């Protein structure tokens, strides 16, 4: 006999977990759009199976089990979501033609408002650590097989026991530990712990303010000064990536459609626990149109990495307008996964 599910009881137990489960699925899939679909499937499966939940584990553990299985099923045979540096080719010539590959399913950034509710004081901030959603870490995860991703995330991010992971994945504990070692080595190779220290809040504010001013003034020389000497610049869906502040300056001078101060407007937002900006480019009618979303990594040497995402569909996910009318001061409106 099927036992009826009390919707109110179910919702009271599982809805508080939605945000962190969305982040879990994002780590696995590398896309906030995919993550939200995966969470919906997770909740559907959980609702269908709630009558058989026997409290042998916490509701949180039970929901993570379902979410992980949903992700593994969805990712089976699916291509990974890379960043341009993930293809293994050398850095590109900044004067060369740009090679767009829109057919590639590129990695996507995640809005901080989805992860933490748009507030650093949100209680959910204690659940998700910034290090576990950094863009470089998410990009490195994409080089693992889906089961390896699950093992590393469950063990190193969520602190599950090896025996718990083994039971979930129907593997031996020894096999889980062996796979974890290989996954850790691969992630460390792609996302090593760098020697540069992150900036303190005050210096970060100054650097970001200077960065915005340099772009809005189209001051390429100043942009180059604000970049770390060995900075990396990559911009999906373009296959090339660029290394070194000088090369990045040449890239901007050669390919950026801006010509003078006022052609570009930067609107502050945040992604993957990092500062981010929506960049708008001036149009013939005087409006500024969404152009690219930049996610920055800051160190004591300057801006060390810029991920420029040209998929302007991301702007809506970040609560950013598509067009800015002349004379208006835009702000990002927090979005939510709830």
Q: How far is residue 266's CA from residue 218's CA, in Å, rounded to a whole number?
A: 11
Other CB atoms within 10 A of residue 146 CB: 20
Query: Per-residue pLDDT for 150 more than 50?
Result: yes
pLDDT average, residue stretch 118-143: 77
Question: What span, in angstroms and rounded, lies between the C-alpha atoms of 103 and 40?
Answer: 26
Q: Residue 9 has what pLDDT?
A: 82
Confidence of residue 338 (pLDDT cuts 50, 70, 90): very low
Kindly tell me if the per-residue pLDDT of 56 is higher than 80: no
What's the CA angle centered on 246, arms 240 and 250, to 5 degrees? 60
Looking at 3.40.640.10, 3.40.718.10, 3.10.450.50, 3.30.300.160, the CATH number of the domain 82-134+196-338 comes to 3.10.450.50
Helix, strand or coil, per DSSP, at residue 298: strand
- Output the six-digit token pair for 46: 């959980």
State the Cα–Cα distance between residues 206 and 45, nearest whole angstrom: 48
- Sorted by sequence, the CB contacts under 8 Å of residue 276 that are 6+ apart come out as 109, 268, 269, 270, 293, 294, 295, 296, 318
Residue 199 pLDDT: 73
Q: What is the pLDDT of residue 1?
A: 36
pLDDT band of 8, cuts 50, 70, 90: confident
State the pLDDT at residue 123.
47
**Is the distance from CB of 266 to CB of 215 less than 8 angstroms?**
yes
| Cα angle value 138/142/143 (rounded, 5°) | 125
Query: Residue 55: is its pLDDT beyond 50?
Result: yes
Q: Quote the pLDDT of residue 198.
A: 65
Q: What is the rounded CA–CA span in Å between residue 173 and residue 29?
A: 25
- CA gap 249, 335 in Å, rounded: 33
pLDDT at 118: 53
Look at residue 3 and tell me whether its pLDDT is greater than 50.
no
Q: Is the pLDDT of residue 151 over 80?
A: yes
Residue 211 has pLDDT above 70, yes or no: yes
pTM of the model: 0.90
pLDDT range class, residue 297, cuts 50, 70, 90 = very high
Distance, CA of 208 to CA of 297 (rounded, Å): 11
Instruction: Dump pLDDT digits (tens) for 299-311.
Output: 999 999 999 999 9
262 versus 5: the higher-pLDDT residue is 262
What's the CA angle centered on 300, arms 186 and 277, to 5 degrees? 80
Under the banding of pLDDT at 50, 70 and 90, the label for residue 127 is low
For the cut 80, the answer to whether the pLDDT of residue 88 exceeds it is yes
- Can you tell me the mean pLDDT for 195-201? 67
pLDDT band at 51 (very low <50, low <70, confident <90, very high): confident
What is the model's pLDDT at position 117?
81
- CA–CA distance, 166 with 219 (Å, rounded to integer): 55
Average predicted confidence (pLDDT) for the chain: 91
Confidence label for 2 from pLDDT (cuts 50, 70 and 90): very low
In the chain, where are the structural domains located? Answer: 82-134+196-338
**What angle do helix axes 59-75 and 7-14 make, rounded to 10 degrees?**
80
Interacting residues of 244 by C-beta distance below 8 A, sequence separation 6+: 91, 229, 230, 231
Distance (Å, rounded) from C-alpha 69 to C-alpha 63?
10
The reported pLDDT for the residue numbered 328 is: 73
At residue 195 the predicted structure's pLDDT band, cuts being 50, 70 and 90, is very low
- Across 230-238, average pLDDT: 97
């Amino acid at each position: 006999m099927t036992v009826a599910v009390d919707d109110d009881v179910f919702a009271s137990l599982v809805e508080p977990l939605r945000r962190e489960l969305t982040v879990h699925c994002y780590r696995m899939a590398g896309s906030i759009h995919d993550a939200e679909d995966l969470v919906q499937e997770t909740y559907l499966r959980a609702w269908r199976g709630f009558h058989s939940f026997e409290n042998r584990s916490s509701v949180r553990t039970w929901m993570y089990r379902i979410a992980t299985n949903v992700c593994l099923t969805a990712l089976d045979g699916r291509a990974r979501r890379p960043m341009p540096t993930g293809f293994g080719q050398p850095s590109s010539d900044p004067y060369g033609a740009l090679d767009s590959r829109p057919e590639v399913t590129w990695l996507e950034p995640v809005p901080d408002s989805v992860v933490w509710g748009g507030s650093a004081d949100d209680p959910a901030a204690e659940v998700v650590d910034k290090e576990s959603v950094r863009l470089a870490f998410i990009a490195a995860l994409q080089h693992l097989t889906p089961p390896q991703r699950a093992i590393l995330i469950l063990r190193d991010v969520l602190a599950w026991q090896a025996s718990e992971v083994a039971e979930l994945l129907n593997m031996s504990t020894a096999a889980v530990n062996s796979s974890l070692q290989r996954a850790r080595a691969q992630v460390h190779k792609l996302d090593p712990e760098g020697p540069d220290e992150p900036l303190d809040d005050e210096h970060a504010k100054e650097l970001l303010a200077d960065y915005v001013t340099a772009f809005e003034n189209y001051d390429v020389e100043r942009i180059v000064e604000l970049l770390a000497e060995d900075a990396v610049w990559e911009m999906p869906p373009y296959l090339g990536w660029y290394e070194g502040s000088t090369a990045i300056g040449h890239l901007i001078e050669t390919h950026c459609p801006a010509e003078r101060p006022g052609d570009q407007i930067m609107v502050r937002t945040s992604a993957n626990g990092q500062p981010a900006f929506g960049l708008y480019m001036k149009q013939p009618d005087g409006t500024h149109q969404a152009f690219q979303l930049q996610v920055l990594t800051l160190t004591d040497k300057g801006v060390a990495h810029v991920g420029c995402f040209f998929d302007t569909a991301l702007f809506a996910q970040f609560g950013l307008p598509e067009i800015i009318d002349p004379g208006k001061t835009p702000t990002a409106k927090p979005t939510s996964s709830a």
